[in-house]
Amino acid sequence: MVVPLQMSLIPLLRLYTTIDLNGTFLGVWLAHTGFGLPLAIFLLFGYIATLPGEIIESAHVDGASALTTFTRLVLPLSVPVIASFAIFQFLWVWNDLLIALIFLGGEPKNQVLTQALMELNSSRGNEWQLLTAGAFISMMLPLTVFFALQRFFVRGLTAGSVKG
């Protein structure tokens, strides 16, 4: 979370070029995963640390293994924070143009939606009706994801905060 994404693009691009991941969606996926993990760890640790220890202790007394305790207790209780992180991560990945431009390049076969909108802007800059239609279409999926996970969003953001 301390190192900005832009600082590591050149070394990461060199690494991807040497292992032949440049221009693939796997490279973009790995970059987004690597830069999304610190936020995920920060949010999940902050939330799971606030869960009462008595619940986990009682599960161990009842004979539950660590995996059973995690899958049957911790994971269902962590749904709000997981949904909040899913919204943040999805919106970051969906709207990201920089990583797509650097790691996928400008080839039409590998374009993501933000690259297509940028190309539409440069090729048809005077036809604003096409740009607004494209922007509206690109907003439909993020809005759907947000409204589907909205009920968890506020609970997940306030989870782990100081309660008075």
pLDDT for 164 equals 47
Task: Please tell us whether the domain made up of 5-158 is placed in CATH 1.10.3720.10.
Answer: yes
Residues 6 or more apart in contact with residue 100 via CB below 8 angstroms: 28, 111, 112, 114, 115
Reference 97, options 84, 86, 113; nearest CA is 113
**Which pLDDT belongs to residue 1?**
59
So what's the pLDDT on residue 19?
93
Q: Give per-residue pLDDT as tens, 114-162.
A: 888 888 777 666 777 888 888 888 889 888 888 887 777 666 555 555 5
pLDDT of residue 125: 66
**Strand ranges (DSSP E) for the chain?**
none
Which residues of the chain fall short of a pLDDT of 50?
A: 164
